[in-house]
Each structure stands twice: as structure tokens, then as C-alpha cells.
Amino acid sequence: VVHAHKPHFMALHCQEFGGKNYEASMSHVDKFVKELLSSDAMKDYNRARVYLDENYKSQEHFTALGSFYFLHESLKNIYQFDFKAKKYKKVTGKEIYSDTLESTPMLEKEKFPQDYFPECKWSRKGFIRTRWCITDCAFDLVNIHLFHDASNLIAWETSPSVYSGIRHKALGYVLDRIIDQRFEKVSYFVFGDFNFRLDAKAVVETLCAKATMQTIRAADTNEVVKLIFRESDNDRKVMLQLEKKLFDYFNQDVFRDNNGTALLEFDRELSVFKDKLYELDISFPPSYPYSEDSSQGRQYMNTRCPAWCDRILMSHSAKELILKSENDEKIVIYDHIGPNVCMGDHKPVFLSFRIAAGAGKPIANVHKCCVVQ
């Protein structure tokens, strides 16, 4: 993707850095970062900033977020904001910050308050914010990780789901933080794993409109543990099986055909923020949950209903910064990476665009940027 788009400025946001078993896997991170910085594809990027939250022993602060920023050698006069000194500093060289990011003045990092967490476990959810200035054009880049759906059965109960409400609250918290009175307001891009899910109740009712539902309960507690949806005729064929961590629909093509466009009407979580956030039209299939079998790059796992969890959103003022050409519609590209390659359970998403540095001025220098979720 870097080779194809050749961005001058690139932001790469990662979540769950070190993997789910981070205690054992965090030791591989340093090698990965060094290989990335020294790789042939990145040889023309002579400045970099890397921020890795590796401090997994601090339950109070650990977010497992990783934010990478690469500056092409052709890009002049780029500055990063020091939140403590409240001034911009010119970016030179390559610097890596890890472990305790709380003491780094070049970013703001926060884990969501404990009372936001839907279950007692204080898991790795939060955000990292950095601020940049490219020849008079200032903007914030926010790496975000919101709450997942813990149970398909609970997500199915109400529309919108209880989990949707928790994500709504947390995203509102982030937006309030980045536009509060402490610092000058600038345009912002928020990108990461929002864990946005389709409206499960509406999706199931649509996919299984002509099905009958069988409820299976635990013998000891009478708690619902499984729902089975069968066709009314056609030999009572099973269409969907739903458990806490099972979403087994008989025809995965519905999530892939035409990039899953038919399901976009059920992608409703962002609508609450339409006054604050803008997103380009989605033209790629749901980004989660892909099989982690390395030979199954296009296959979804039967654990969750596929959804567009990974997104690149922006303030309405940031939308105005992006240059759109009447002659070249490909100048702004919002797409996923590695459609046929196994890249873990999430498929990365990227936005490539040209930004008007000093936007609004009669003569603006143009730089090509790329943000990658």
C-alpha cells in the first residue's frame, strides 16, 4: 500500500499491540518495529515517531495502542505539538517511545474510566491523541479502541444493543476531550477499532425473515444458551445458529457480495454523531471477523456477525482539508488492505488523500497523506 500510494505523511494506528496474549508476545514488538523502520519500503521516510503502549503491568493505564508516524524526505517543515509546553516542535530524526507513555508530552493517552467498562474486567480500551502541523495546516490524529460485543445473545435482545450504547458513551467521551477548552481547536481524524456492529436484532430478523426460532436453555439455570433459526419449509434447513460467541449463518456470500452493501443499512452506530463526524462512503466488505487460518484470507469466522469495526472518521473541518479533484476521482481512496490475504481477524482499512496545507489560503502547497487503521 505504501509503495502504491507513496504518501508524504503516513499515520499507522494499531490496536491490541503485542496481541491478545501480550504478556508472552510483547517481546516480539521491538523486532517488528525495527524491521518496519528499516524496511526497503520505508527507506525514503527519514523521520518517524513511534508510540507503543507496552506497559501491560499497569492495569490502570494499559491500552495496547500503537501509533506510528512516518515523514517522507521530500516533506519539509513538519511540526508536532507538545501538549505540556503548548507549542509545536520541529520533527527531526526517528524516535521510539514505549512502556510508560504517560510521561511523553507529545501525546495524550487515556484509558476509559473503569465505570465505562460493561463487564468487571478493566480491559484495554482507550485512545491516544497526537497533533501535527504541515506548513500551517494543523490537525489531530486520534488512535481509538472502543468496546466489543461480549455476547451475541445479549446484542440480539434490543435495538440498538446495550453494547452500542456503551460505545456511544465512550466515543462521546473522546470527542469531548479533543474539543475541550485546554487547547486550540483544530481539525481531527479519529481512526482505529471502533467495534461498531450491525444492529443485530434487525439483521437477524432480515436474514431469517421466513424462519422459525428454537430456543435452547441450560438445564440447570434455564438461561438461554442457543437460538436456532430454521426455514419453515425446505426440510427445516438450519439458517442461523446463535450462541454467546457463535454466529453461524449458512450463506456467507451475503457479507461479501457487492462488498456487503446490502447490510450497510444496519450499520447505524455512527448516525448518532453525524453532527460531529464525517465518513467517506464505504465500498469494502465488513472488516471483521476474518478467519485467522493463513490459507483463508477471504473467509469470515462464525463467531460474530461480520461488521465494519475498523473505520476512519473525521471532523467536518477535516473533510474540508481533503482536496477532491473533478478530473481524478481516485485522488481520495477509502479501502481495505489485503482482501485475499490473512491479516488476522481484522482487515486493516486505509484512507489516502491529498491535503491542502494552509487550507483556505489562495496558494496552498499540496502534500499526499495516508492514514492506516
CATH number, position 327: 3.60.10.10
Is the model's pLDDT at 40 over the cut of 90?
A: yes
Assigned domain for 5 exists:
yes
Assigned domain for 361 exists:
no
Residue 370: the pLDDT is 62
Average pLDDT (99-117) is 90
Is the model's pLDDT at 94 over the cut of 60?
A: yes
Is the model's pLDDT at 95 over the cut of 60?
A: yes
Q: pLDDT tens for residues 247-289?
A: 999 999 999 999 999 999 999 999 999 999 999 999 999 999 9
Average pLDDT (79-105) is 94
Assigned domain for 367 exists:
no
For residues 22 and 307, the model is more confident at 307
Q: pLDDT tens for residues 47-63?
A: 999 999 999 988 889 99
Assigned domain for 207 exists:
no
Is the model's pLDDT at 367 over the cut of 80?
A: no
Which ranges of 125-197 would DSSP assign to H, the alpha helix? 152-155, 162-178
Is the model's pLDDT at 359 over the cut of 70?
A: no
Residue 362: the pLDDT is 43
SS (H, E, C) 51-94: EECCCCCCCCCCCCCEEEEEEECCCCCEEEEECCCCEEEECCCE
- Look at residue 101 and give its three-state secondary structure: helix
Q: How does residue 363 score in pLDDT terms, banded at 50, 70 and 90?
A: very low
Average pLDDT (337-353) is 95
Is the model's pLDDT at 97 over the cut of 90?
A: yes
Average the pLDDT over each of 13-27, 80-94, 191-205, 211-225 and give the range with the smallest value.
13-27
Is the model's pLDDT at 183 over the cut of 60?
A: yes
Residue 360: the pLDDT is 38
Q: What percent of the chain has pLDDT over 70?
A: 92
Residue 97 DSSP symbol: E
Is the model's pLDDT at 368 over the cut of 80?
A: no
For residues 372 and 364, the model is more confident at 372
Q: Which residues pair with 196 in a beta bridge?
A: none
Assigned domain for 217 exists:
no
Residue 365: the pLDDT is 54
**No. of helices (H) and no. of strands (E), the chain:** 8, 19
Is the model's pLDDT at 372 over the cut of 60?
A: no
Average pLDDT (331-360) is 87
Residue 44: the pLDDT is 96
List phi, psi (to 5°) of 208.
-120, 40
Residue 115: the pLDDT is 86
Is the model's pLDDT at 373 over the cut of 90?
A: no
Q: For residues 331 and 260, what is the distance between their CA atoms, to the nearest angstrom?
A: 24
Is the model's pLDDT at 364 over the cut of 50?
A: no
List phi, psi (to 5°) of 251.
-130, 95
Amino acid type, 292? E
Assigned domain for 227 exists:
no
Average the pLDDT over each of 67-76, 159-168, 281-290, 354-363 and give the range with the smallest value.
354-363
Assigned domain for 306 exists:
yes
Which ranges of the chain would DSSP assign to H, the alpha helix? 2-5, 22-25, 29-38, 152-155, 162-178, 200-207, 253-256, 316-321
Please give the tally of structural domains in the chain: 1
Assigned domain for 188 exists:
yes
Residue 114: the pLDDT is 86
Is the model's pLDDT at 204 over the cut of 60?
A: yes
Q: pLDDT tens for residues 119-146?
A: 657 789 999 999 999 877 899 999 999 9
Average pLDDT (216-230) is 96
The parent domain of residue 297 ranges over 1-197+254-352
